[in-house]
Structure 1
């Protein structure tokens, strides 16, 4: 397993060791002990989510003000551009974002710890995304930052107009959003 550092030290890209031959491929997508060694924390995942979206669907930027969720994200069909925004006011990287392409082909995963807003846009015709979370979904605590906030200036790698849910269209500007201290 290869760990790729990002411009935000707590956000990690994980590239698995893939064993491939004429039958297909095999890789270990998650191992508790290895993940603990990588992050330096004992992390328990309590929920797995699976979404399927068509091209140009943009989901995010989502977070929970209580019960914050760490997320381990990967793509099993298609490709996405995945984004994490540091919303921890006490952090040296507060207000910074990073993004990377995750795809069924590259088999990369991204670890986004609690304290970050998360979103992605589908680059392929459609994509299926799987992600583990460290806490349960709590709709009463969910918040959304506008995907196109000018203070964040995220380059989403869009190939057309984004397709957004009503919730994502109603997101708050970063400077007006309820964030972590």
Structure 2
């Protein structure tokens, strides 16, 4: 069964970023035929724990959910032309290649269209550096588009779902081949 996890890097709880990210994850999940549970890791609840020097049970659970995902929707508001420091602090906790085998979908919510490339220039490379397979163009979501979120997501998921499905098929094929000799 495919697991879909949403990671929200907005430091404010109940944010528009969270609403958009959850909607994006649900839309892609529906489009690829996902019928299981959908987990949400909202970093706004973990901010102080992420910056604490020692381990934290909440952060460890969040890291396990993210690294165990088949499909990971990673969303952040755009701050200073890129993703938030909170999201970076979370990803800094992961070892190299921790997202190997994960199909990651970057989403940035932004107020200005001049930041539209940030999803591809900043967030995608971070995910790739951690080993994620980023099979699709990320979603650069402008704040004025939020009232029409359903329409925007319908267009985006129609475009990216075949690539996500193919990535999941490759991952499953790898698992089957590895397990065939045991």
Higher relative contact order at CA 8 Å, sep ≥6: structure 1 or structure 2? 1
TM-score (norm 2): 0.24
| Larger strand share, 1 or 2 | 1
**Higher helix share goes to which structure?**
2
Q: TM-score, length-normalised on structure 1?
A: 0.24
